[in-house]
Amino acid sequence: MASRNRSVPAADRVAKPQARTAAKRVKILEAAMTVFGTRGYNNAALAEIAEQAGMTHAGVLHHFGSKEGLLVAVLKYRDGEAMAGVAGREQVEGPAFLPHLTDTVRDNIKRPGVVQTYAVLSAESVTDGHPAQEYFRGRMAGLRIKLQRVIGMTTGREVEDDDVRDAASALIAVMDGLQVQWLLDPQAVDMPRTLALVLDELIERLATNEPAPPVSARVDGVLSVGAAQDEPQAS
């Protein structure tokens, strides 16, 4: 299925970009983000992206070489934008990163398009041979490591501790999972509040190092107030 290796036309070797070109490219990227978000990568048509950017699909290809190239550019663009982001918020490094998560989620409510793009693409990326797969694998790994470090710092735990690792995965999972629920029904979930609940509780637990009893015990009535256990667990 893979055609022969031909040289990519004019992907990135920009010798002399003209004055208004940069702005035009941003406009294409912005349009692409919207369309990839509303339709998914596979179902998105270059023609629609081009139209929103005020040109033909061939014009888009002139700048980004291929649809896949455009996607990669969108992903990179989003990263850069998220840093120099919405409220002049720069790269937060220390334990302040944790409340920053909740802030970001709060801001995201005002940018459903961005949320949708991220949610759709990240899940779509697990499909066979998806062009964004490597990107999201790396992104997840990076986020996990960063969170592990920050959680370690904040709670005085080892960075390599299993609980710290799990907490990092869990926080990312909560944010991503909430987005899908929220996109399907914005009334149904309160993203920042829910994230804060998990975040506060997880950090408290790691800081005090007092694991909660497993729910299985609770269900068996071992800890419950009225200690009437009704049914034995099959396990």
Smallest separation (angstroms) from a second copy to the CB of 206: 10
Smallest separation (angstroms) from DNA to the CB of 48: 7
Give, as ranges, the residues between 29 and 58 that touch DNA (CB under 7 A). 44-47, 50, 54-58
Instruction: Check residue 73 for interaction with DNA (CB under 7 A).
Output: no
Measured N-to-C along each axis, helices 112-124 and 21-39 cross at an angle, to the nearest 10 degrees, of: 70
Which of 24, 51 has the CB closer to a second copy? 51
Smallest separation (angstroms) from DNA to the CB of 120: 15
Measured N-to-C along each axis, helices 162-184 and 133-155 cross at an angle, to the nearest 10 degrees, of: 120
Instruction: Check residue 14 for interaction with DNA (CB under 7 A).
Output: yes
Mark the segment that binds a second copy (CB under 8 A) among 5-13, 19-27, 53-61, 86-94: 86-94
Cα separation, 58 vs 224, in Å, equals: 67
Closest to 151 measured CA to CA, from 169, 138, 134, 133? 169
Residue 174: C-alpha distances to residues 18, 102, 190, 195 (Å): 44, 11, 12, 7
CA atoms within 13 A on the CB side of 179: 25
Supply the Cα-derived Rg of the chain in whole angstroms: 22
Instruction: Check residue 219 for interaction with a second copy (CB under 8 A).
Output: yes
Question: 56 contacts which partner out of DNA, a second copy, none, CB within 5 to 8 A by kind?
Answer: DNA
- In the complex, the residues that contact DNA under the rule CB under 7 A are 1, 6-7, 9-11, 13-19, 21, 24, 44-47, 50, 54-59, 61-63, 66-68
